[in-house]
Amino acid sequence: MSLVTPFAVFRRRLIGSALLLSLVVGGCAAAEADESPESLQSPEPLALLAGGALVRGEQPTAQSILARRGPYQVQRYTAGLRNGPGYGSQTMNIPTNAEPPFAAIAIVPGFVSPESSIGNWGPFLASHGIVTLTIGTNSTLDQPPARERALMDALETIKNENTRGGSPLNGKLDLSRLAVGGWSMGGGGTLNAIQKHPELKAGMALCPWNPGVPYSRITVPTLLFSGTLDALAAGQGPGFYRSIPASTPKVSWEVAGADHFYANDPAGRGGWVGAYGLSFLKTFLEGDDRYRQFLSVRGPGSATFESTVR
């Protein structure tokens, strides 16, 4: 069974330039509207499509993907979680009024940075129905290989929540739908992890740092953010993108004038950071093909934008 109807295919072909205009013009209004009480009303039932795709809520729009939060209420907790030896602090973010099963992602920060530096991704993604575990590292000096190990250990904690007595996620996770993400050296760790673990569904690298490392064996769908004024990792994201095989679904957004920190928060760049992250994870982690259309749109301020996703 396919979600994409003939009308949807026709609509996707028409959306082109009109989508870009509506994203720029409508983004601010949508961000404000999303904070209203109406955004927390009970969602429509989850649709499970052939192949196990998780399809939630109404048809996404240019306005909805730029909003500050999604339609679901979010619970955050740390108590009761497995004490993963591969990482430090942790916060689980879960949607409380969305229908399971849930896909999940673990996200790690960068060099000399705490969990809080990427913390806003947790409630943002959970508000759209994606369980998110943000973590800190055992040492803020950990290099990309250690952050890779931290991410994989964090996924073990997510898996444990699916069977732990008293867990709000007990029996509610789809463990075939797991992803990783990270910033800076955490982005390097993310790329390392998805190169070694092709069973993962997606990787999201925020201004990744891991100079000189090629990623020619990555088959996992990969999203990369980078900035031209990044004093630490400028140029690495587009370079990593080019090293990943053309057969792998991949998107690289390099923003003119952006620094090393702009993608740490999904609200960055007027919500475009979150729009790309959400659309990518919805498409490849949850399998919701309605979001695919947004992954070929060139965002404002792009120095380069490259995508194999059509």
As annotated, the active-site residues are 184, 230, 260
**Which pairing describes strands 222-227 and 202-206: parallel, antiparallel, or unpaired?**
parallel
- Structure tokens belonging to residue 215: 């990623």
- DSSP string for 200-261: -SEEEEES---TT---TT--S-EEEEEETT-TTTTTHHHHHHHHS-TTS-EEEEEETT--TT
Which sign does the torsion angle of CA 303, 306, 309, 310 carry?
positive
- Structure tokens belonging to residue 40: 């927390």
- At 44, give phi and psi (nearest 5°): -70, 155
Angstrom distance (rounded) from CA 211 to CA 39: 42
Measured N-to-C along each axis, helices 272-284 and 6-33 cross at an angle, to the nearest 10 degrees, of 140
- Structure tokens belonging to residue 247: 């057969």
* HSE-CB for 120 with a 13 A CA cutoff: 15
- Structure tokens belonging to residue 211: 């100079």
> Pseudo-torsion of CA 104, 106, 107, 111, nearest 10°?
-170
Inter-CA distances, 263 with 188, 189, 259, 268, 305, Å: 15, 16, 9, 6, 15
The burial class, CB within 10 Å (0-12 / 13-18 / 19+), for 50 is exposed
- Structure tokens belonging to residue 280: 């990518």
Contact 77, 168 (CB under 8 A): yes
